């Protein structure tokens, strides 16, 4: 099992996901992620686009979910764009 931190990109069943769970939480068997999908309908600020593994992928924020940590394989990081992810989560939760 890979060690995962916030804003790591990991693969789950062939789908890239961004870890959004805080590193300050105690370890658990599940972790909160948001899928990165190609061709997902983007809404400004809610669905930022990221380049990963040679592809442009959209953060599918409304598909936020928890998955088994042991099912994920780390493939990279988008930590340098973490502010865009947090803004998307804020918009999802607060609407602004």
Instruction: Tell the CATH topology of 8-94.
Output: SH3 type barrels. (2.30.30)
Distances from the Cα of 21 to the Cα of 14, 55, 76, 85, angstroms: 20, 24, 16, 11
Top-confidence residue, 82 or 53: 82
Task: Return d(Cα 40, Cα 58) in angstroms, integer.
Answer: 6
Provide mean pLDDT across the span 71-90. 96
The structure's pTM equals 0.94
Beta strands in 46-94 (DSSP E): 49-52, 55-59, 65-68, 73-77
Task: Return d(Cα 87, Cα 45) in angstroms, integer.
Answer: 7
pLDDT digits (tens, 9 = 90+) for 11-23: 999 999 999 999 9
Every domain of the chain and the residues it spans:
8-94
């Amino acid at each position: 099992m890979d060690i995962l931190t916030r804003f790591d990109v990991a693969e789950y069943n062939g789908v890239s996901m961004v870890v959004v769970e805080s590193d300050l939480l105690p370890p658990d068997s599940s972790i909160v992620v948001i899928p990165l999908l190609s061709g997902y309908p983007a809404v400004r600020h809610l669905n930022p686009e990221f380049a990963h593994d040679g592809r442009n992928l959209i953060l599918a924020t409304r598909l936020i979910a928890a998955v088994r940590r042991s099912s994920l394989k780390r493939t990279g990081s988008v930590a340098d764009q973490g502010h865009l992810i947090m803004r998307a989560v804020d918009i999802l939760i607060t609407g602004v």
